[in-house]
Structure 1
Amino acid sequence: MKNLYKILFVLSYFLFLDLFSMSPNSRLIKNILDKYKVTDVNKFIDSDLTPIIMASAKGNWDDIDILLKNGADIEIVSKTGETTALIEACIFEHYDIARSLLAAFKKQVEDKYNEDKYNKEIKNIVIQKFINQLNKKEYSALSGLCQNFKDFSDDENLNEAKRFVFRELLVLGGDFSVLDPISEKNLLMLLVTNDDFKMAEILLEHLKKIYSPQDENLQNKNLDERLLRFVNFRDHNGQTALFYACANGDLEMVTLLCDYGAEIDVEDNLGLTPLHLACCFWDVEIVDYLINKLKEMYPNNDDLLNNFIDKKTKGTCEISSRDLLKRRGYDLL
C-alpha cells in the first residue's frame, strides 16, 4: 500500500509540473478545447460545428478571443447547418463578437493573400463569398442582423455595435437583395417592420451612393430605377415597406421612404393602400402627410385625388378609412 501511495505521489508531482510549466495561454486553450471536446481549434464538434462557431452562437467572448489568438479559422462553414461564426453572432445578437470576427477575418485574408499576385479584387471576392454565405435556413449575416429588433434595453453601445457591423457588411459587399426566407421581405422591409429608423437610413444612404452617386438632392425623378425598385419591393402580401411604416404609425419612417421614392398610390393583394392602413390605425399625422403627397402627385386634379381616396377595398379598413377622412375634412365622392 505504501508503494502505491508513492507511485500516486510521483505521478501527481509530474502532472503538477506539467500543468504549471505550460504558458497561461496554453492552459487557457487546453481548457477551451477540453470544454468543447476537441483536440484542435478547427476540429468539428459532433461532425458539425467548430468551437468558434459554437462560441459565437452562445456569445462566449472570452473563448472567441483565445480561439482567434490560437489560429481559429473564421471562414469555416459548418457541415450540416451550413452556417458560420459570423452568421451565428448576427442572428443571436452578439454584435461586439460579430464586429471582432469581421476585423479578424479581414486580417486573415490580408495575411493569406499578401503576395503581389493577389490583387484587391481577389481579396474582395474572398471576403464577399464569406459574408454572403447562406445557412441552411437561408439566412445571411445581413438578413440575420435585420430580423432582430432594435431595442436592447436602451443599450446604446449594443445598438451602435449593430449599426457598425451593418455598415461594414454593406461596404464589404454584403448582398442587400437577400430576402427573409419566411416572410419574403427584403432588408428594408425587415428594418421598417422592426421600426429601426437609423438602420433603414443607413441602408438607403448606402444604396443611393451605389445607384445615384452624382445626385446631391433627393428628388424622385433623379433616383435610379434600381433604388426605386428596391424601395417599392413587394412581399407575398403585395405590400411594400411603406405599408409597414404606416401600420407602425411611424411618420419619420414614412417621410424617409417617400423621400426615397416610395409609391403612395399602390395597392396590396387585398386592394388596400398605405393610406388605408394609416386610417385603420387612426394616425392623423400620417394621413395628412400622405394626402398632401397625393395632392402633389395630382395637382389641380381633384377627380383623380378623390378617386384614389374613395377607392373601394376588399379588406376591413374601408369604413374606418372613410370615417377618419371625413372627420379630417376631406370630401369624398
Structure 2
Amino acid sequence: CHYSFPTIGCKSAASLKPLRSVHFPNDIVFLDYVRHGELERIGLFIRARRVNLDTIYHSGMAAIHEAVLSGNLECVMLLVNHGADVHQRDEEGWTPLHMACSDAFPHIARYLLKLGADPELENDCGEKASDLIDLDNKELLELFGLAIND
C-alpha cells in the first residue's frame, strides 16, 4: 500500500490553527501557582495587582490556606510578606494555623505563631488549632506545650 498526503501551503496551514483559545481567570491561574509553589509567578501576580489576597475562592479558602495545605513554607512567607492575613478564616472558620496543625506542618505552624497567629481562635466547630494535632505528631504537640509523656 502506498499513501500519498497532499502538501499544505502557507495559506492552508494558517486555516488549521484553532479558532478559539482558552483563557483562565486570574484567580484560577493564581491558585494553581500557589498550589504548585511557583514563587516567581505568584510574586508577579501580586505585584501586578491581579489578585486580592483576602479573596475566598471556590475552594472555600484564601490563597494563604492553599499555600499552607501545600506544605510550602516559602510560599506562605511570600504571601504574608505581600499582606496575606495570618488570621484569615476560610468558609468554615479555619485559620492557616488550624490547617498547619491538622495537616501536620510544624514548620509552618511555628512560622505562623512567630508572626502572632492566635492559637486560641476557634473554627466554626469550636476547635482550636491545637485540638487538630495528631497525637503522634510530637513536634507539633511540643510546639503547643502539649507533649505527652511516654
SS at match of 2:98: helix
> 1:205 deviation in Å?
3.1
> 1:258 deviation in Å?
0.1
Q: Are the structure 2 counterparts of residues 40 and 187 from structure 1 closer, same or farther at C-alpha, using a change threshold of 3 Å?
A: closer
Partner amino acid for 1:40? S
Q: Are the structure 2 counterparts of residues 294 and 330 from structure 1 closer, same or farther at C-alpha, using a change threshold of 3 Å?
A: farther
Partner amino acid for 2:142? R
RMSD value over aligned CA atoms?
3.2
Q: What's the counterpart of residue 261 of structure 1?
A: 83
Aligned residues: 137
Q: Are the structure 2 counterparts of residues 321 and 41 from structure 1 closer, same or farther at C-alpha, using a change threshold of 3 Å?
A: same
**Aligned mate of 2:16, from 51, 73, 96:** 51
Q: What's the counterpart of residue 103 of structure 2?
A: 281
Unaligned runs of 5+ in 2: 1-5
> 1:273 deviation in Å?
1.5
> 1:239 deviation in Å?
0.6
Q: Are the structure 2 counterparts of residues 306 and 191 from structure 1 closer, same or farther at C-alpha, using a change threshold of 3 Å?
A: closer
Higher RCO by CA contacts (8 Å cutoff, separation 6 or greater): 2
Contact 1:237 1:268 in 2 (8 A): no
Contact 2:56 2:91 in 1 (8 A): no
> 1:194 deviation in Å?
2.3
Q: What's the counterpart of residue 3 of structure 2?
A: none
Offset from partner CA, 1:49-87 (integer Å, 9 cap, x none): x3133xxxxxxxxxxxxxxxxxxxxxxxx2xxxx1xxx3
**Aligned mate of 2:132, from 307, 320, 324:** 320
TM-score scaled by length of structure 2: 0.72
Q: Are the structure 2 counterparts of residues 236 and 270 from structure 1 closer, same or farther at C-alpha, using a change threshold of 3 Å?
A: same
**Aligned mate of 2:7, from 31, 53, 70:** 31
Q: What's the counterpart of residue 307 of structure 1?
A: 120
Q: What's the counterpart of residue 68 of structure 1?
A: none
Mapped pair 1:293 → 2:105: no
Offset from partner CA, 1:98-128 (integer Å, 9 cap, x none): xxxxxxxxxxxxxxxxxxxxxxxxxxxxxxx
Tell me how far apart the structure 2 counterparts of residues 285 and 319 of structure 1 sit (CA, whole Å). 18
**Aligned mate of 2:30, from 188, 192, 197:** 188
Partner amino acid for 1:282? A
Contact 1:272 1:315 in 2 (8 A): no
SS at match of 2:41: helix
Q: What's the counterpart of residue 92 of structure 1?
A: none
**Aligned mate of 1:245, from 45, 55, 67:** 67
TM-score scaled by length of structure 1: 0.36
> 1:238 deviation in Å?
2.6
Q: Are the structure 2 counterparts of residues 270 and 329 from structure 1 closer, same or farther at C-alpha, using a change threshold of 3 Å?
A: closer
Q: Are the structure 2 counterparts of residues 315 and 306 from structure 1 closer, same or farther at C-alpha, using a change threshold of 3 Å?
A: closer
Unaligned runs of 5+ in 1: 1-29, 34-38, 43-49, 54-77, 88-138, 144-177, 180-184, 208-226, 296-304
Partner amino acid for 2:63? A
Partner amino acid for 1:197? L
**Aligned mate of 2:44, from 202, 209, 222:** 202
